[in-house]
């Protein structure tokens, strides 16, 4: 138990991010409601962002804006990647929500199981 | 650390709740929390973008869709053993993987010794921009940003096409098509 404490401190960010990732995965697999599935996808995505940003942090560093008197900066590269990923993520989310609206108009429901039943009846 | 724990609690709330309106609002709370975490982790640009895009635009879009559809989720009919099993196995495998990762926040890990220092030292001589994130985004990796804009443009066209078709009297059309055979 005592030996596990440095592990906990060193990997706390990673473990929380993995927990969030697993939450997102569970929502996507287990829940049939499509809006809920999209929220789950967003949670999953954000967990990956957290993993990247954690990798870029240096303890005792500052944000990567060059200024007099500072030596250690956080790594800017993960920040750039994640900025792009956030924007692309919201674009895909918009397309997904558009599809949900269309499905709701065509089937009258956004529950996966009801749509499957409708498909079997026809 | 407290913030991260709070984040995990909010995620559990998102999994458990069945009222989609509450889920979307919790999603906004989650976005703001993670934006704060990004700020603590020295990523102010990412924090601003996440707060504006994740908590702002995404929430507004979700609420608009909920307005067009319904706000309650139906109960699952079969027990949820298999998804739980898949998630647990994935989580265990990933946690096993983190044990080999370098400790958090140290300066001599591979992440910080590869190409990052080049950007940090050359940004001012090359571009004259003190904010390294901005200079990498707009100058060193400008083509990537162009690609990102193309992705957004494509997504906008896709949404427009999807919703444009929805404006036609599709409901009657589909109903008559279903009744015909």
Within a domain: B85: no
Whether B165 and A100 have beta carbons less than 8 Å apart is answered as no
pLDDT score of B174 more than 70: no
How confident is the prediction for chain B on average, in pLDDT? 79
Chain-chain contact of B112 with A75 (C-beta, under 8 angstroms): yes
Distance CA(B48)–CA(B175), nearest Å, equals 46
Give the per-residue pLDDT at B180: 46
Give, to the nearest 10 degrees, the angle between helix B58-68 and helix A76-107.
10
pLDDT score of B168 more than 60: no
Domain count for chain A: 1
Within a domain: B1: yes
Confirm or reject contact between B170 and chain A (CB < 8 A): yes
Distance CA(A119)–CA(A115), nearest Å, equals 6
Final residue in a domain of this structure, among B54, B73, B92: B73
Within a domain: B131: no
Backbone angles phi, psi at A73, to 5 degrees: -115, 150
Within a domain: B104: no
| Confidence grade of residue B157 (pLDDT, cut at 50, 70, 90) | very high
Within a domain: B107: no
The pair of structure tokens assigned to B101 is: 């990762």
**pLDDT by residue (tens digit) across B43-82?**
888 889 889 988 888 899 888 888 888 777 777 666 678 8
Within a domain: B92: no
Give the per-residue pLDDT at B117: 76
**pLDDT by residue (tens digit) across A60-114?**
777 877 777 777 777 888 888 898 899 899 999 999 998 888 888 888 878 877 8
Give the per-residue pLDDT at A35: 87
Give the per-residue pLDDT at B181: 42
**pLDDT by residue (tens digit) across B83-118?**
888 888 888 888 888 877 777 777 777 777 777 777
Three-state secondary structure readout of chain A: CCCHHHHHHHHHHHHHHHHHHHHHHHHHHHCCEHHHHHHHHHHHHHHHHHHHHHHHCCCCCECCECCCCCCCECCHHHHHHHHHHHHHHHHHHHHHHHHHHHHHHHHCCCEHHHHHHHHHHC
Of all residues in chain A, the percent with pLDDT exceeding 70 is: 93
- Pick from A39, A50, A55: CB nearest B24: A39
Average pLDDT (A26-50) is: 88
Within a domain: B133: no
Give the per-residue pLDDT at B167: 57
Within a domain: B38: yes
Give the per-residue pLDDT at B154: 92
| Confidence grade of residue A1 (pLDDT, cut at 50, 70, 90) | very low
If one counts every other C-beta atom within 10 angstroms of the C-beta of residue A59, the result is 11
pLDDT score of B142 more than 80: yes
Chain-chain contact of B49 with A33 (C-beta, under 8 angstroms): no
Domain count for chain B: 2
Give the per-residue pLDDT at A113: 79
pLDDT score of A119 more than 60: yes
Q: What is the CATH number of the domain that holds A95?
A: 1.10.287.3510
Q: Say what the ipTM of the complex is.
A: 0.84
Final residue in a domain of this structure, among B73, B102, B117: B73
Domain around B176: 142-181
pLDDT score of B179 more than 70: no
Give the per-residue pLDDT at B95: 84
Contacts of A52 in chain B (CB under 8 A): none
Confirm or reject contact between A30 and chain B (CB < 8 A): yes
Final residue in a domain of this structure, among B55, B73, B91: B73
Distance CA(B151)–CA(B155), nearest Å, equals 6
Chain-chain contact of B41 with A113 (C-beta, under 8 angstroms): no
Domain around A78: 4-121
| Confidence grade of residue A116 (pLDDT, cut at 50, 70, 90) | confident
């Amino acid at each position: 138990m005592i030996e596990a404490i440095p592990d906990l401190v060193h990997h706390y960010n990673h473990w929380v991010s993995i927990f969030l990732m697993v939450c997102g995965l569970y929502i996507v697999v287990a829940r049939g409601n499509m809006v809920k599935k999209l929220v789950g996808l967003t949670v999953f995505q954000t967990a990956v962002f957290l993993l990247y940003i954690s990798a870029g942090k240096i303890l005792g560093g500052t944000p990567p804006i060059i200024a007099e008197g500072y030596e250690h900066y956080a790594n800017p590269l993960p920040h750039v990647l994640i900025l792009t990923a956030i924007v692309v993520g919201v674009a895909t989310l918009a397309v997904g929500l558009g599809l949900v609206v269309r499905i709701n108009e065509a089937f009258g429901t956004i529950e996966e199981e009801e749509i499957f039943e409708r498909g079997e009846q026809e | 650390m407290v913030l991260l724990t709070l984040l995990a609690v909010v995620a559990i709330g998102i999994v458990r709740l069945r009222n989609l309106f509450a889920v979307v609002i919790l999603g906004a709370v989650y976005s703001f929390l993670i934006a704060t975490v990004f700020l603590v982790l020295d990523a102010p640009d990412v924090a601003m973008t996440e707060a504006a895009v994740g908590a702002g635009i995404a929430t507004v879009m979700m609420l608009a869709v909920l307005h067009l559809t319904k706000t309650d989720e139906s109960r699952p009919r079969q027990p949820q053993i298999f998804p739980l099993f898949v998630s647990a196995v994935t989580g265990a495998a990933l946690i096993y993987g983190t044990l080999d990762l370098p400790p958090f926040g140290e300066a001599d890990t591979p992440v910080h010794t590869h190409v990052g220092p080049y950007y940090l030292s050359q940004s001012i001589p090359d571009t004259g921009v003190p904010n390294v994130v901005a200079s990498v985004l707009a100058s060193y990796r400008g083509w990537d940003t162009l690609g990102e804009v193309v992705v957004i443009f494509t997504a906008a066209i896709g949404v427009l096409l999807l919703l444009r078709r929805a404006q036609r009297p599709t409901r009657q059309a589909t109903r008559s098509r279903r009744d015909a055979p």
